[in-house]
Amino acid sequence: MSTESRTQHVPDHVADQDATRLPTDVHPDALARENDGAAETVNPNRHLATAGGGLLLAGVALAAANMRPAVTSLASVLGEVRDSLGASSTWASVVTSVPTLCFGVAGIGAPLLARRMGINKVIGVSLAVLTAAMLLRTVGGPWTVLSGTVLVCAAIAMCNVLIPVVVKESFPTKVGMATALYTTAMAAGGSTGSALTPYLNSATGSWRLALATWAVVALAALCVWVPATARRSSARQVTASTGPRRSLMRSPLAWVITGYFALQSLVAYVVMGWLPEVFKGAGIDGTTAGMLLGLLLLVGVPINMVLPPLVTKTRSQSGWAIGLAVLTISGLLGLLLAPLTMPVVWALAIGIGMSAFPLALVLISLRTANAADTSSLSAMSQSIGYLIASFGPFLFGVLHDVTHQWSASLVVLLVVVAVQAVFGVIAGRPRTV
């Protein structure tokens, strides 16, 4: 682990001040790469501040808006899908585990494909695959739904790993702002997918049509991403895809960040995959349960909008990690002990606590000194983290099948959040990998 670096914390106002001390055509990150022996010293993305910047930001936002609806839309009608297909509870547990498992496995290959094809092209192809796969999983039986979900999540995994690299390299002095846009769009997409899908299911009388509707959002993202990145010549591709790289496997800090990412992902995908069923088990009707999940995700929209810029302005992020964990624990305890007393309050507390996800993304940027390290840490934390997290939804469902109640599953989840807080405290200390 390296000692604390002055480049590890890049608030917007500090970065802007530092930039004024350098020639206008050279960026601090470029100088850092020169000092490390990298070939490129001139910022390749100066033009993003002009014509291409706004369109690229829109492309990032739309791509992010597709990162959760594919998961939350299926979760909100999972019972109907299972009954319609005559599938088992084990099948449902596998389906809820597929997202994190695919995110881990496919995320490993994202940096390799990016170096071969270029980051922009990989994201574009992923959005095309996502559009097709969201339609595929609505036309067949249980295995088709499962196969389509695998493809959907593999495509999302590519974007999960690579979009933070685009943010770090293309908007280096505005990491907080760009990350806020990315995570806000993600939260908005997830909440909309959960809240609207039950209504679409009722309105159309078909869960297949309800799920297929979300392919339109993926197609819209693709239609913006292609022209936004077409303005960038091959010489101006994101340098992290081809620049010098180093393994972070021996960095204790990198492993701590990976652990934090894994545990917050495990909690998030358990909640997104199973919370409607937990509410139903407490006696709440299916439509209301879906709305509660939608509310839980919707509250993340304003939180995700303001949290990343605030986080980047604090020297340590440990306090943020503790506060978010306390909120999640409070909501889960309410759900465990008195689910029908204040279900809206429990959902809101859990939803705010799940803003640990944008905090994890910000930590990936703050704990790295350049885009190449950001790419390496993003790939490591997301691939390994999601693989670990993939066990969560499956075991949560299996534990319910064994005990025939949700109490044991919720207790285990409470323990996971407590451990997550410990990792967050360590990861929040200011230094770089």
Retrieve residue 66's tokens: 């597709």
Helix ranges (H only) for 282-406 are 286-298, 300-312, 318-337, 343-353, 356-366, 371-389, 391-403
Does the pLDDT at position 417 exceed 70? yes
Among 427, 9, 80, which residue's Cα sits nearest to residue 256?
427
Segment 43-72 mean pLDDT: 70
- Displacement of CA 422 from its chain's centroid (Å): 21
Q: What is the set of domains in the chain, with CATH numbers?
A: 53-232 (1.20.1250.20), 248-432 (1.20.1250.20)
Retrieve residue 144's tokens: 């088709």
Q: What is the spatial distance between Cα 24 and Cα 99, in angstroms, rounded to a whole number?
A: 44
Among 419, 314, 387, which residue's Cα sits nearest to residue 9?
314
Q: What is the spatial distance between Cα 324 and Cα 421, in angstroms, rounded to a whole number?
A: 8
Among 149, 89, 106, 93, which residue's Cα sits nearest to residue 391?
93
pLDDT of residue 418: 97
Integer CA distances (angstroms), 39 to 47, 170, 239, 255, 320, in order: 20, 18, 10, 29, 37
Sign of the dihedral defined by the CA atoms of residues 405, 406, 412, 414, in that order: negative
Retrieve residue 218's tokens: 């993926």
Comparing 352-356, 365-369, 403-407, which segment has the lowest mean pLDDT? 365-369
Q: What is the spatial distance between Cα 191 and Cα 299, in angstroms, rounded to a whole number?
A: 8
Tell me the pLDDT band of 124, cut-offs 50, 70 and 90: very high
Rg of the chain in Å (alpha carbons): 21
Q: What is the spatial distance between Cα 274 and Cα 95, in angstroms, rounded to a whole number?
A: 11
pLDDT of residue 28: 38
Does the pLDDT at position 129 exceed 80? yes
Q: What is the spatial distance between Cα 331 and Cα 246, in angstroms, rounded to a whole number?
A: 40
Helices and strands in the chain: count of H runs, count of E runs: 20, 0
pTM: 0.70
Q: What is the spatial distance between Cα 193 and Cα 200, in angstroms, rounded to a whole number?
A: 10
Q: Please, what's the b/e burial string for 117-136 (b: 16 or more CB within 10 A of its CB; e: otherwise)?
A: ebbbbbbbebbbbbbebbbb
Retrieve residue 210's tokens: 């309800």
Q: Which of 105-114, 320-329, 367-376 has the highest mean pLDDT?
A: 320-329
Tell me the pLDDT band of 133, cut-offs 50, 70 and 90: very high
Comparing 186-190, 197-201, 320-324, which segment has the lowest mean pLDDT? 186-190
Q: Are 297 and 351 in contact (CB under 8 A)?
A: yes
Comparing 2-16, 103-117, 289-303, 394-408, which segment has the lowest mean pLDDT? 2-16
Q: Are 327 and 352 in contact (CB under 8 A)?
A: yes
Tell me the pLDDT band of 25, cut-offs 50, 70 and 90: very low
pLDDT of residue 413: 96
Q: Which of 17-21, 278-282, 356-360, 411-415 has the highest mean pLDDT?
A: 411-415
Residue keyed to tokens 């806000």:
184
Segment 52-58 mean pLDDT: 77
Count of all residues that appear for the chain in the document: 433
